[in-house]
Each structure stands twice: as structure tokens, then as C-alpha cells.
Structure 1
Amino acid sequence: MRTELSIVATPGRLPRIDAVGGLAGRHTGPDTVHLIGTAATPLGGDELDITIVVRAGARLVVRSVAATIALPGTDTVVSTAHWRFDIGEGAELDFDPEPTIVAGGAHHHVVTTVQIAPDARLRLRERVQVGRSGEDDGGWRGDLLAELGAVPLLRHRLQLGAGSSTDDRLSAARSLDSELVYPDHRPAWSGTVDEVRLPLAAGGSLATRTSSRLRALVPG
């Protein structure tokens, strides 16, 4: 199945939502949209193409009502998703959906491209868990490509799970919590050996945490 979703935020009006396939959006506030699954996706062979545009001066908050579960298909185990974000002059995007869970035997590949104006604001969070309870043979790959105006902001690729170059059933990470923030003037920070926030040369920061399991969120 192919899924196409477009969300366009414009100042002074509700975001426009156009959707075909297994993912839709619902207005839950004047500037807030929640992503909602309308069919079981992604399955192996599925393609997701999502575009989120925040026009100059607009603000958009994007959340989701539930986790996304990537499952193997009958003929192929690989599903793909392409997320495109375009944040205009003076605009703001806060993107923080529920995690993606890659079930055993499935492989999910994500390409995220970001175009952000130099005076815009962005928080882009991605959480991934490879394997449900008792599973560890799924795989995930994510490419994050960000441009600040005409200047490259970030080129980042990370792989988790089966098929990755660092895979180790005993100790390799099976989860990722990643957050791209712009602007961000905080200095570099490191918690545990697998948790770090690094400033980007053109501005902003990228924080990543890898581990065996995602941390449970604390209410409030």
C-alpha cells in the first residue's frame, strides 16, 4: 500500500490536511494536528510519503495518537517512509509523535529531509524501538538530511538491529531517541556513553540516545 499525507499550516487558519492510504491527520487544536492510523501500515512493501509544510509566520504542533508498528509483509519484509519538512520564515514546528516499533522480521527504512529558514524554529523528535517483547531480529535505518536556507545543516544516518554493521545480539542498541533542535545555543552535553547532545556548525543541535529499550515517559 502507498500512503500519502500532506499537512500545510498557514497563519490564521486551521492546517490543511490531505491524506490517501493508511495515515491521516485530525485537528486537535488551532495549530495542532494528531496523526491517526486508518489501516495497518507499514507492512513489508508499503511506502509512506509524508509532507509537512509550515508557511511563513505559522506555528504547527504534530503529535500522534498511538505508536506506529512496522510489520513484515508476505512477499517482502522492507517498508519505506519519506518525511519532508519545510519550515518557512518566522515559522515554528514542534514534531513529537509516538515511537515507531519495528516488529521481529521487519525492516523499516526512513528518509527525513528538512528545509528550514534561518529565522524559523524547529523541534523534530524521533523514537524507534526494534522488537516487541521477546523480539530482536527486526531492523531499522534512518537518514536525516537538513538544510538551513542554502547551507547544509545536518547529514546523519543511523542503523539499528538485524543487518546493521554493528549488530550484536548481546549488547547492540535496539532503540533510538533522537531530537533535532534549531536554534539551540546550549553547549555540548554527554550523559551515559550512549547519550549525547552535539551542537551543529550552522546552528542548532542533535541529541541522540541509544539503548536496549526506550525510556518510559514520565507524566507531567
Structure 2
Amino acid sequence: MRSEVYIVAYPGRTPRIEHTGGVAVRRTGSHTVHLVSAAATPLGGDVISVRVVVEPGARLAVRSAAATVTLPSAATPESRTHWDVESAGELDIDPQPTVVAGASRHLTETRIRLTGAGSIRLRERIQIGRSGEREGFWSGALHADVDGAPLLRHRVELGGGSVTDDVIGRPLACVSELRYPEATFDTEATVLALAAGGCLATWQGERLTN
């Protein structure tokens, strides 16, 4: 299944929303939308594409109604999610965690373009496996630019077959949070100030705690 979401935030009015496939979008506030599963997705072979545009002077918060659980299909264990983000306003993306269940493989790619006074807070939480599961694999790539100049190039792998795969002490959960233009914030994670402004906070461990 292919699911596509398109959200545009304008100043002084409610966001424009379009969606097809297994992911729907609901307005839950004047500047807030929630992603809602309309079908069992992502299964192996599924692709979810989310495009978010925030116009100058606009605000938008993107949330999800529940955790995303990835599962293998009979044909393939691999599914994908693509985020394409443009912000010239104030954007906050903080969905519920993604749980990579069974022996599924899930690949996430996020591309962010900030312009003008654009700001962003983007938090991503990943858990390999439900209770007692350790076989899943996740790869996440984050590519961010500000006014056409590079801000961040970042990639993380978790789970079976990843670069951190170690039966003794491999991490099975991670949290990453990109903020711009904030250079730091209070968190238990490790915070790295970025050369072009903003910061990236990262945490890895056995299980997500929040």
C-alpha cells in the first residue's frame, strides 16, 4: 500500500490537508493536526510519504494518535516512510513512537528545508521489537538545510544487522530531537550544538521510557 499525506499551514487560517491510503489526518486544534491510521500500515512493501509545508508567519504542530507498529508481509519484511518538510514559519513534529515489530525492516528518510524565519522541533522515537522481540531493523536518515546551506546530515541504525548489532549490549531504542534555531535545551539526552545553528539531541538504550 502507498499512503500519501500533504499538509500546508497558512497564517491566520486552518491547515490544508490531503491524504490517501492507510494514513488519515485530523485537525485537532487551530494549529494542530494528528496522523491517524485508517488501515494496518506499514506492512512489508508499504510506503508512507508525508509532505509538510509551513508558510511564513504560520504555526503547525504535527502529532499522531497512536504508536506506529511495522510488521513484515508475506512478500517482504521492508517498509518505508518519507518525510519532506519545508518551513518558513514555526513547526513542531512529535509523533508517537515507531515500534519495529517481528522481523520487519523499516527505513525512514526525512528531508527538511528551512527558510527565512523558519524554525523546527522534530522528535523521533524508535523501539526495536515488542516485548521479547529483538529481530527488527530500523534505519533513519535526516537531511536538513537552512536557506539552501547544509545544517545536518545524520543517520542511525538499530536492531538486527545494524552497525550497532551486538548480542551483549546493543541498543534497541533511540530518541533523536532536532531543534532550530535553539542551540540547547534541557534533556537527559546528549546535545550537540550544530555549526550553522540549532542542535541535535540523541539518546539510545534498551527500551523507551516515554
Aligned sequence identity (%)? 50
Aligned position for 2:68? 68
Listed as ranges, the matches of 1:194-213 within 5 Å are: 195-213=189-207
- Supply the distance in 2 between the matched residues of 1:119 and 1:202 (Cα, whole angstroms): 14
Is the CA contact 2:183–2:194 (under 8 Å) kept in the aligned structure 1? no
Q: Cα offset for 1:150?
A: 1.3
Q: Cα offset for 1:156?
A: 0.3
- Supply the distance in 1 between the matched residues of 2:57 and 2:2 (Cα, whole angstroms): 32
Question: What's the CA shift string for 1:143-172, capped at 9, x where partnerless?
Answer: 000001111000000000011122012210
Question: What's the CA shift string for 1:18-73, capped at 9, x where partnerless?
Answer: 00001111001111001100000000000111101111110001111100000001
Query: How does the TM-score come out when normalised to structure 2?
Result: 0.97
Aligned position for 1:112? 110
Listed as ranges, the matches of 1:51-200 within 5 Å are: 51-88=51-88, 91-186=89-184, 195-200=189-194
3-state DSSP class of the match of 1:213?
Answer: coil
Q: Cα offset for 1:17?
A: 0.8
- Please say if 1:42 is aligned against 2:42: yes
Give the 4+ runs in structure 1 shifted more than 6 A: none
Is the CA contact 2:63–2:94 (under 8 Å) kept in the aligned structure 1? yes
Q: How many residues align?
A: 210
- Supply the distance in 1 between the matched residues of 2:159 and 2:35 (Cα, whole angstroms): 26
Is the CA contact 1:59–1:92 (under 8 Å) kept in the aligned structure 2? yes
Is the CA contact 2:164–2:171 (under 8 Å) kept in the aligned structure 1? no
Q: 1:190 to 1:52 in 2, by over 3 A?
A: closer
- Supply the distance in 2 between the matched residues of 1:168 and 1:118 (Cα, whole angstroms): 44
Is the CA contact 1:136–1:169 (under 8 Å) kept in the aligned structure 2? no
3-state DSSP class of the match of 1:104?
Answer: coil
- Supply the distance in 2 between the matched residues of 1:169 and 1:212 (Cα, whole angstroms): 12
Query: How does the TM-score come out when normalised to structure 1?
Result: 0.92
- Supply the distance in 2 between the matched residues of 1:24 and 1:153 (Cα, whole angstroms): 31
Q: CA RMSD in A?
A: 1.4
Q: 1:104 to 1:169 in 2, by over 3 A?
A: farther
Q: Which runs of 5+ in 2 are unaligned?
A: none
3-state DSSP class of the match of 1:186?
Answer: coil
Q: Cα offset for 1:190?
A: 9.0
- Supply the distance in 2 between the matched residues of 1:69 and 1:170 (Cα, whole angstroms): 25
Q: Cα offset for 1:184?
A: 1.2
- Please say if 1:9 is aligned against 2:9: yes
- Supply the distance in 2 between the matched residues of 1:28 and 1:190 (Cα, whole angstroms): 27
- Supply the distance in 1 between the matched residues of 2:183 and 2:111 (Cα, whole angstroms): 22
- Supply the distance in 2 between the matched residues of 1:76 and 1:126 (Cα, whole angstroms): 24
